[in-house]
Amino acid sequence: MNQTLAVWLLIALAAISANLPFLNERVFALFTWRQGGAAAAKPFWLRMLELLVFYVVVGLIGFAFESALGNPFPQGWQFYAIGLCLFLVLGFPGFVLRYLYKRHPSGKRNEVS
């Protein structure tokens, strides 16, 4: 695998995994969230926990790519803070669809006048 392919693959993986907690009701896209024995909507804190776990997983995959393609460089806390901010920005479309996009009971979209 060359470096260009690894970078684009990592960006695509980050974009998908950053939106995944917002676009489905399953925990880590595998398990159904249940409260009181019945399936329920995931709470916000669980979506944020999933987002953090996916950030760590994508970071580890990125470190594996870097190790396989050359020498891994040591990073400070600033690198991880900026990486987390970029990961949150990648997850913004899913957040908008989940929490900010209003759906009307009639099925019509909310149009801005």
For residue 14, give Cα distances in angstroms to 57, 82, 88, 104.
9, 14, 10, 31
**What pTM was computed for the model?**
0.83
Q: Considering the domain boundaries, does residue 8 fall inside one? A: yes
What is the count of structural domains for the chain?
Answer: 1
Q: Considering the domain boundaries, does residue 109 fall inside one? A: no
pLDDT (tens digit, 9 = 90+) per residue, 65-87?
Answer: 999 998 888 899 999 999 999 99
**What is the distance between the alpha carbons of residues 74 and 76, in angstroms, rounded to a whole number?**
7
Q: Considering the domain boundaries, does residue 110 fall inside one? A: no
Q: Give pLDDT, residue 104.
A: 65
Q: Considering the domain boundaries, does residue 19 fall inside one? A: yes
Q: Considering the domain boundaries, does residue 71 fall inside one? A: yes
Q: Considering the domain boundaries, does residue 112 fall inside one? A: no
> Contact, 22 vs 90, CB < 8 A?
no
Q: Give pLDDT, residue 106.
A: 63
Q: Give pLDDT, residue 112.
A: 58
Q: Domain residues for 54?
A: 3-100
Q: Give pLDDT, residue 36.
A: 79
pLDDT (tens digit, 9 = 90+) per residue, 7-52?
Answer: 999 999 999 999 999 999 888 888 888 887 787 888 999 999 999 9
